[in-house]
């Protein structure tokens, strides 16, 4: 009954991109701090471009993950029932009758090959 939905390719790419951006900004931070320690500078907060890159990567990853995740399914039973035909629900094979008017009505029907 549960059909596996093909994960959105665009979403995956965006997720990957966001994660790579995050990794890159993380590594830049690390390098920046090492540089500061090497030249005995004071840590005056992260440089602005790294911060912006970080926030962008977080936003991008959020967008990507929301696209990658499965769609929500409607929970009302009515909508689910609307997709099913009465023939699958109300079948009752024991009550099928074959001795009916169809024999006369469809007698001259020729089936196409």
Partner 1 sequence: MSGQQINPDDALYVDMYIAKNSQTMTFIRSSYSAILGLAAGTLGLTNWSGFIFYFLGSAFLSLLIFLVKAKGNPSPYFRQPLDVFTEGVLGGMLSYILFWTLLYGIIHVYD
Q: Is 25 helix (H, G, I), strand (E, B) or coil?
A: helix
Q: Is 9 in the site for partner 1 (CB under 8 A)?
A: no
Among 44, 75, 104, 109, contact with partner 1 (rule: CB under 8 A) = 75
Q: Is 73 helix (H, G, I), strand (E, B) or coil?
A: coil
What whole-number distance in Å separates Cα of residue 34 and Cα of residue 22?
18
- Choice between 41 and 62, CB closer to partner 1: 62
Residues 25-64, one symbol each (x = binds partner 1 by CB under 8 A, - = not), give: xx--xx--x---x--------x----x--xx-xxx-xxx-
What is the Cβ-side half-sphere exposure of residue 29, based on CA atoms within 13 angstroms? 15
Among 7, 69, 91, 102, contact with partner 1 (rule: CB under 8 A) = 69
């Amino acid at each position: 009954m549960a059909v596996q939905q093909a994960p959105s390719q665009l979403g995956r790419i965006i997720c990957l991109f966001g994660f790579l951006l995050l990794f890159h900004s993380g590594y830049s931070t690390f390098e920046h701090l090492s540089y500061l320690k090497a030249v005995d500078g004071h840590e005056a907060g992260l440089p602005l471009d790294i911060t912006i890159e970080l926030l962008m990567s977080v936003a991008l990853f959020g967008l990507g993950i929301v696209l990658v995740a499965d769609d929500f399914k409607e929970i009302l039973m009515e909508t689910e029932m609307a997709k099913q035909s009465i023939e699958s629900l109300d079948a009752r094979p024991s009550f099928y009758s074959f001795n009916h008017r169809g024999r006369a009505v469809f007698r001259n029907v020729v089936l196409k090959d």
